[in-house]
Amino acid sequence: METKPAMDIQKSALLLKLLGDKTRLTMMKLLQSHECCVCEFTAIFEASQPAISQHLRKLKDAGLVQETRRGQWIFYSIRRDHEYAPFVEDVLNHFPDQNERLTNLEKQGLRISCE
């Protein structure tokens, strides 16, 4: 019989703090269903490139996302191998998907696609 190790409330508080920012929370929700590159995020959030990079850095440092370079672009994706990934996904599952934000980008021709 399998038992899950109990979650550490202290480590979880740090994760919740990371998710407790509307930009990062929305990023994570988007990443739940799509890989995204930095320039897409800057377009979606109408934020500066360094601001976006710094949010992504925090998520990466916490092990919540990972990057892959594809040519000129660096794509971010969610890490489902994080110790508390199921917890994070449970939290994210409460929110409506934010894919409209991506389709809006497509309409503007700003969606990156380098498959």
Instruction: List interacting residues with DNA (CB under 7 A).
Output: 17, 21, 23, 37-39, 42, 47-58, 67, 69, 71-75
For a second copy, give the closer residue by CB, 10 or 113: 10
Q: Do residues 18 and 62 lie in contact, with contact meaning Cβ atoms separated by under 8 Å?
A: yes
Nearest approach in angstroms of CB 23 to a second copy is 8
Binder to a second copy among 94, 100, 107, 113 (CB under 8 A)? 94
- Gyration radius of the chain's alpha carbons: 15
Q: Which of the ranges 12-20, 46-54, 60-68, 106-114 carries the binding residues for a second copy, by CB under 8 A?
A: 12-20
Nearest approach in angstroms of CB 35 to DNA is 11
Q: Do residues 105 and 66 lie in contact, with contact meaning Cβ atoms separated by under 8 Å?
A: no
Query: Running DSSP on this structure, what letter comes out for residue 40?
Result: H
Q: Do residues 43 and 59 lie in contact, with contact meaning Cβ atoms separated by under 8 Å?
A: no
